[in-house]
Amino acid sequence: MRRLAIRGSNPGGRGALKRLSEFSLHDLDSVSLILRGGSVIDWHRLNLTGPEMVRDFVRNHELDPDSERDQAYLRGVQEQATSYLQRNFNFAMPKPVRGASFAELVLMASAPGSGHRQQCACTILKVMQIINHMAGRELLFRLPVSDRDLFHLVEEKVYRVVGQMLSEGFPITEFVGGRKNLDSTYTKLLSKRESTAVAIYDKLRFRIVTRDREDILPVLLYLSERLFPFNYVVPNQSTNTMFDFEAFCSTLPELAPLVPQMQDRDEGDLGGIDNRFSAREYRTIQFISDVPVRVPPHILDVAPSGTADLGRVVYMLCEIQLIDAETEAANETGSANHRAYKERQREAVFRRLRLGTRTPKDPREQSS
């Protein structure tokens, strides 16, 4: 497995890292979605305030808000979304919504209240999310490049973002990136009921260790603004055994008034995926995200004809883990450590290979 480990050396300034007390309602909703493994399709509004926030949101999808080509791509996706809604649901929308630019549409979806325009804008953006994602996946399948080459593009992006964080003195004590090796992939597939390659989300994985527990959420927010868009976290694939996020925010005077306005508060915690090989005392935050990567021109130049309408961005699945130094040290003691986890997994796989679901009657068969 290819690995890169970087240790932070500057315990000083935080650069552009937000403090928890500075989180906006949009920040709370974004982080909550990631921790819970929810879906933005279930949202009823956005909270992006102002044109510059919209431009940053576009950039985070590896699209250039000043590029005529990228603007044309967004218009095309928006037209497909409105056409889909009209064809399938006879969806009526006011003229200002139908004629809005993408930036205007996002600001309408973020407008206070829940009027008809705001609801229409949200509905269109949800469909655009799906169309854009499908276009990126289709482009990925059509490109004449190997997974190894695409993994390299993702790694370059991750190392660039995290490297910048380290150079600015963010509270990160360790960063490790790697690719799952073949033996680990085989073992993981053999341990799962859905024993197909599509069930593996963590072929690329990255772990960030923060100095203190209170640093985890600001670092997570920063990553969601510069590495992956919060809306492309894979639903139902998040594990959060570190924070009761809503209760935690309610203890902070600056955030407590925003908690009642957060979305999906009545759906419970989605962030507790059961991994039967993890010890009960194991603590972590980890999730799967589709990381957008802009395809270099030299690769697009040799792509098959008919790919121009699919844009210039592909999405690559990555597992991202966040933990603080004290919790990591606790995880490495007793039955929670990684070696014990892998041993439990290997034992279960070997038993499944030999016996399937059959219960052994011969003690020699059970221990062999």
Quote the pLDDT of residue 194. 56
**CA distance linking residue 55 with residue 76, whole number of Å:** 18
160 CA to centre of own chain: 17
What is d(CA 262, CA 30) in angstroms, rounded to the nearest whole number?
10
Q: How far apart are CA 187 and CA 29, in angstroms?
A: 36
Determine phi and psi for 204, rounding to 5 degrees: -115, 130
The pLDDT of residue 273 is 47
User: What CA–CA distances, in Å, run from 277 to 56, 196, 282, 289, 355?
Assistant: 40, 19, 10, 22, 19
d(CA 142, CA 304): 7
Answer yes or no: are the C-beta atoms of 319 and 286 closer than 8 Å.
yes
Helix axes 147-167, 216-226, angle to 10 degrees: 130
Can you tell me the distance from the alpha carbon of 302 to that of 266, in angstroms, rounded to the nearest whole number? Answer: 49
CA 258/CA 241 separation, integer angstroms: 23
The residues pairing with 44 across neighbouring beta strands, listed in sequence order, are none
Reference 284, options 233, 338, 342; nearest CA is: 338
Q: How far apart are CA 76 and CA 344, in angstroms?
A: 50
Cα of first residue to Cα of last residue in the chain, in angstroms, is: 30
Q: Is 268 left (phi over 0), alpha (psi -120 to 50) or beta?
A: left
* Helix, coil or strand: residue 85: helix
For each of the chain's 368 residues, which pLDDT tens digit applies? Answer: 444 555 554 444 445 799 999 999 999 999 999 999 999 999 999 999 899 999 999 999 999 999 999 999 999 999 999 999 999 999 989 999 999 999 999 999 999 877 899 999 999 999 999 999 999 999 999 998 888 888 899 999 999 999 999 999 999 999 998 765 555 655 556 666 655 444 445 578 899 999 999 999 999 999 999 999 999 999 998 999 998 999 999 999 999 999 999 987 644 444 454 455 555 678 899 999 999 999 999 999 888 888 888 999 999 999 999 999 999 998 887 655 666 656 666 666 666 677 676 655 555 445 44
Q: Which is nearest to 216 in space by CA: 16, 70, 6, 19?
A: 19
